[in-house]
Amino acid sequence: MRFLRNPANTKSPRTDGHSPQTFWHTTGKNLLKAIIPPFIMLQILFLGLQSYIFGSVFRNGDRVHNMKVLAVNFDDGIVGQALQEASQLLQSPSFPTLVWTDNEDYPTPEDIYDEVRKGHYWAGIYSIGGASERLNAALHGGEAAQSYQANNTIRYVFNGMRYPNQEQGEIQSSLETLISTSRIVFNKLNGTAAANLLPRSDSTAAQVLLSPIMSSSINIKEASAGGRVLYNTAAQILVILPSFFLMMALNGIASGLQLYSKASLLMNAYVRASLSFAYTFIGSLCAASVIYAYREGMEISGGQHMLLWMALWLYMHVQFLVFDVATTFIPQTFIAFFTVSWAIINISSVLVPFDLTAGFYHWEYASPTYNMYQLEIAIISGSGCYDRGVWLSLPIMFVWWIVMLGAASLAVLVRCRMARKAALDAAAKAVDEKTSAETSSDVESMRSVTTDFTTHSDLQLHRV
């Protein structure tokens, strides 16, 4: 028991920096004060970004009626009537709006095809001329019943490449529902009378009555590649981020080499411009080639691949310039905040078409990513398709490029001036420190001489 009372074996409380009490009083409080602001700001930032991107798709099913479908009745009989009445029955906020137009404005199905191909409507649907006459003849049996084609009554046309998810979900499925409802309406309007016309010995005519109307469709550009779900989601992120990472690397290397303070303004601008053009040139080629390589059964020609490459090059260079300007004028602490926000805002502009989003989000018509995606739709859809993506989105992209090019030129000037000012301040500080050190040394020398002189004088007086 004695060794327990031995002071040598008794551990005293820790008084070094590893004890909780010492850590809290010396470092913990400062750490807590420093971490609270970014802790709160990050929570607010990501809460806001999540609310923003979820808000862009909030209740988009209630806005499907904003998607316009061109409708023309080329058949003046019961088939066309059934189609019109079915569209009235189905009309609701969650169903596309059919814009019924006189066939004098669109005299042929090719005119409807052109309107959809140019992107003026999400789809077009029409009753085929003479459909009611062929159906009436088939109900009488005979050769007309044997040669009757139910899918030659109503036809619709759409572009599967234009927002594939919405074309297949809201448009194609809605039009199939419309045609199925038209069949029900036909049976309600003419079912009893048609049944009385059926020859009792002709089973083919009975089959015609059971299925008088079926759908047929024309897909202008089928988006058959599995990667179609990535075109307006992850693929856009992977085009934005490379520019940011190169910019961060370039800024770090340039600062380490003191390029901004040692090289001329013209040389700095030349270096940054050369690197940005070369990097985005190769990066856009890789992005376009990935889409081309994973096209699967989707038809993409070499010319379309080249056009997509050029469009992506312009887009990537715009993104590079945006980050160049941002990293110049935004403090380093908040660059990550800006990058995440910029990426989310750009992606939200292409998740769903603006016909399905609240009006608050329509300012994103001007975003680079939205206009790039419109160009992508136009290029992959083929020549003459979705001309809106060319005559509207391409000029907007060039405006972005010109404005950001000017802003980036100003950013280089600011970087060089700030670096040279910092270099001059550092040099002046070094001179001041050297002068102060020399002055201190001289003072010490004077003090030493004075002390020696005083000591010598005292000795002389003592001897006397």
**Count helices and strands in the chain by DSSP H and E runs:** 18, 5
Q: Chunked in runs of 10, what are the mean pLDDT values of the chain (464 residues)?
A: 48 57 75 89 96 94 96 92 95 96 92 94 95 89 86 95 91 96 90 72 80 92 86 90 93 89 90 95 96 90 95 97 95 93 95 94 95 94 80 94 96 90 74 66 58 54 50
C-alpha to C-alpha distances, 73 to 107, 132, 144, 392, 396, nearest whole angstrom: 10, 12, 23, 32, 38
Residues in Cβ contact with 7 at an 8 Å cutoff, skipping those fewer than 6 apart: none
pTM: 0.84
Packing angle, helices 203-210 and 173-197, rounded to 10: 140
Contact by Cβ (8 Å): 369, 322: no
Q: What is the pLDDT of residue 193?
A: 74
CATH of range 60-220; options 3.40.50.720, 2.60.40.1510, 3.40.1710.10, 3.40.630.30: 3.40.1710.10
pLDDT score of 229: 86
**Structural domain boundaries of the chain?**
60-220, 227-422
Residues constituting the chain: 464
* Distances, alpha carbon 262 to alpha carbons 69, 132, 256, 268, in Å: 62, 83, 11, 10
